Amino acid sequence: MKELISAEQLDVGIRKMAEQITSMVGDRPLTVIGVLTGSVVLLADLIRQLKMPLRIGFIQATSYRGGVERGELELDVAILPDVVGQEVLLVDDIFDTGHTLDEVQRMIQSMEPRLLHTAVLLHKLGRQEVDIRPDFIAFEIPDEFVVGYGLDYRDQYRNLPYVAVLEEADLESNDPVEPGNAQA
């Protein structure tokens, strides 16, 4: 695995994104919605940089069950606060194909917020399959599989304080052991 964005670079990028959000929102109340689970680290660091009154909520969006291929998106809104008439900032870890952000954004839009903004830590270049673009982007990255700072591979690596490219050898070392093929 090789480091792509250091902890120091993350701090600077998130601070700049917070300044852009503050410039747009000002001191109006804001409801910040994190897309679980990948956005948790970003959301925690981002809200500490925001000075306006805010509420926090979450939505669970699941489409990568244990691998690198996207499956059908499932949304769980059980812990989503009421957003009717509110100014909302939807925060996600990565904008890859864009399907997750597009679907979550449409779902929240149907709940009639006054304004809806989107923010992502990473925008993976060359992978978009939708016609939207996040309002706030901390970093643009090449088309590589990344982990760390909330992003995972098979629920591992979220705790890394930096963003790293997961290389082929790392993927192979994390492949599940098939029954009967365990090595001693």
pLDDT of residue 102: 94
pLDDT of residue 80: 87
This prediction has a pTM of 0.86
Output the CA–CA distances (angstroms, integers) from residue 108 to 51, 115, 124, 162, in the order listed: 24, 10, 23, 30
Supply angle C-alpha 132, 150, 11, rounded to 5: 85
pLDDT of residue 171: 72
Q: Which helix (H) or strand (E) element contains residue 109?
A: helix 99-109
Q: Is the bond preceding 97 in cis, omega lying within 30 degrees of 0?
A: no
pLDDT of residue 64: 53
Q: Decide: 43 and 56 in contact? Cβ < 8 Å.
A: yes
Segments of the chain scoring below 70 in pLDDT: 63-71, 173-184
pLDDT of residue 72: 73
Output the CA–CA distances (angstroms, integers) from residue 11 to 5, 28, 33, 81, 115, in the order listed: 10, 24, 20, 28, 27
Report the C-alpha gap between 161 and 158 in whole angstroms: 8
pLDDT of residue 179: 34
pLDDT of residue 168: 81
pLDDT of residue 177: 37
Tokens 């902890």 — which residue? 7
Tokens 């812990």 — which residue? 79
3-state secondary structure of 173: helix
Q: Which residues are catalytic?
A: 96
pLDDT of residue 181: 30
* Strand residue runs (E) in the chain: 2-5, 30-36, 54-62, 74-76, 87-95, 115-124, 136-141, 146-147, 163-165
- What CATH code is assigned to 2-144? 3.40.50.2020
